[in-house]
Amino acid sequence: MSAAAWAEWERRLGAEGFAWDAGRAVARPGDVEQTAAVVRWAGEEGIQIRVGQGGGNLAANAASPAAGAPAAANGGDTRGNGGAAANGAGAASSAVAAAPRPVLRLDLRRMRRLRFYEPGDLTAGWDAGATVAEVKAALAAHGQFLPLDGGGGAATLGAILAARRSGPLRHGFGTARDFVIGIEAVTAAGEIVHGGGKVVKNVAGYDLMRLLIGSAGTLAVITGVNCKVFPALAATETIAFTLADFAAAERLRSRLLHSPLRLIAWELTDGTVGGTGTGADGAEGPAAITALVRFQGSEAVRARYRRELAAIAAESGVEARAVEAEAEMWDRWEAERLPLAMGAPSGVAVELLRRTAEMAASGGRSLRFRGRLALGAFGLALAPELTGDARAAWPREWRTMAARVHGDAWLQDEAEPWYAAWRGMGQGARNDQAQGVGSGAHGDHAAGGRDLRREGDWMVRLKRHLDPRGLFGPAEAGA
Partner 1 sequence: MEKLRAIRPRLQALLGPDGVVADALGRMLYEYDGGVDRGEPDLVVFPRSPDEVIAVLRLAREHGLAIIPRGAGTGLSGGAVARDGGIILSLNRMRKILSVEVENQRARVEPGVVNLELSERISGTGFYFVPDPSSQKACTIGGNVAENSGGPHTLAYGVTVNHVTGLEVVLADGEVLRTGGMAPDMPGYDLTGLMVGSEGTLGVVTAVTVKLTRKPEAVRTLLAIYDQVDRAAETVSAITAAGITPAALEMLDGFTLRAVEAAVQAGYPLDSAAVLLIEIEGLQEEVAEHAAAVEAVCRQAGAREVRQARDAAERGRLWAGRKQAFGAMGRICPNFYVMDGVIPRTRVGPVLRGIEAIGQRRGLRIGNIFHAGDGNLHPLVFFDGRQAGQLELAREASREIIQLCVEQGGSITGEHGVGMEKDELMPLIFSEADLDFMRWLKQAFNPEGRLNPGKMLPTYKSCRETALATRPELGKTIEARI
| Chain residues 259-318 in contact with partner 1, contact rule CB under 8 A | 260-262, 297-298, 300-301, 303-305
In whole angstroms, give the CA distance from residue 144 to residue 245.
39
Q: Give Cβ neighbours of residue 461 (< 8 Å, ≥ 6 apart).
A: none
Where residue 325 falls (left for φ over 0; alpha for ψ -120 to 50; beta otherwise) is: left
Does 95 contact partner 1 by CB under 8 A? no
Nearer to partner 1, 25 or 212 (CB): 212
Of 445, 472, 36, nearest in space to 212 by CA: 472
8 Å CB contact between 411 and 426: no
Closest distance of CB 231 from partner 1, Å: 3
Task: Figure out which of the listed residues 236, 335, 441, 476 binds partner 1, where binding follows CB under 8 A.
Answer: 441
462 residue type, one letter: L
Among 453, 469, 478, 479, binds partner 1 (CB under 8 A): 453
Q: Is 469 in the site for partner 1 (CB under 8 A)?
A: no
Helix (H, G, I), strand (E, B) or coil at 228: strand
Q: Which of residues 217-236 bind partner 1 (CB under 8 A)?
A: 219, 224, 226, 231-232
| Per-residue contact string for residues 158-197; x = within reach of partner 1 by CB under 8 A | ------x-x-------xx-xx---xxx--x---xxxxx-x
**Cα dihedral value 297, 303, 307, 313, nearest 10:** 60
CA triple 62-430-253, angle to 5 deg? 70
10 Å Cβ neighbour count for 97?
11
From candidates 12, 109, 110, 115, binder to partner 1 by CB under 8 A: 115
What's the burial of 359, exposed, middle or buried (CB within 10 Å: 0-12/13-18/19+)? middle
- Residue 73 near partner 1 by CB under 8 A: no
Question: Nearest distance from residue 33's CB to partner 1, in Å?
Answer: 13
Is 114 a binder of partner 1 (CB under 8 A)?
Answer: no
- Please identify, using beta-carbon distances, which residue of 107 and 184 lies nearer to partner 1: 184
Which 133-162 positions form the footprint of partner 1 (CB under 8 A)? 143
Residues 16-35 that bind partner 1 (CB under 8 A): none
Does 458 contact partner 1 by CB under 8 A? yes
Q: How far apart are CA 372 and CA 265, in angstroms?
A: 8
Report the C-alpha gap between 186 and 27 in whole angstroms: 15
Q: Does 239 engage in binding with partner 1 (CB under 8 A)?
A: no
x/- mask, partner 1, residues 360-389, rule CB under 8 A, reads ------------x--xxx------------
Nearest approach, Cβ of residue 478 and partner 1 (Å): 14
| CB-based burial label for 110 (10 Å; 0-12, 13-18, 19+) | middle
Q: Residue 18: in which H helix or E strand, if any?
A: strand 18-21
User: In the set 13, 39, 92, 344, which binds partner 1 (CB under 8 A)?
Assistant: 344
For partner 1, which is the closer residue by CB, 75 or 345? 345
Which C-beta is closer to partner 1: that of 154 or that of 189? 189
- Contact between 401 and partner 1 (CB under 8 A)? no
Strand arrangement of the beta sheet that strand 220-228 belongs to: 114-118, 123-127, 220-228, 180-187, 192-196
User: Which member of 257, 311, 325, 479 binds partner 1 (CB under 8 A)?
Assistant: 257
Q: Tell me which stretch binds partner 1 (CB under 8 A): 79-87, 92-100, 111-119, 387-395.
A: 111-119
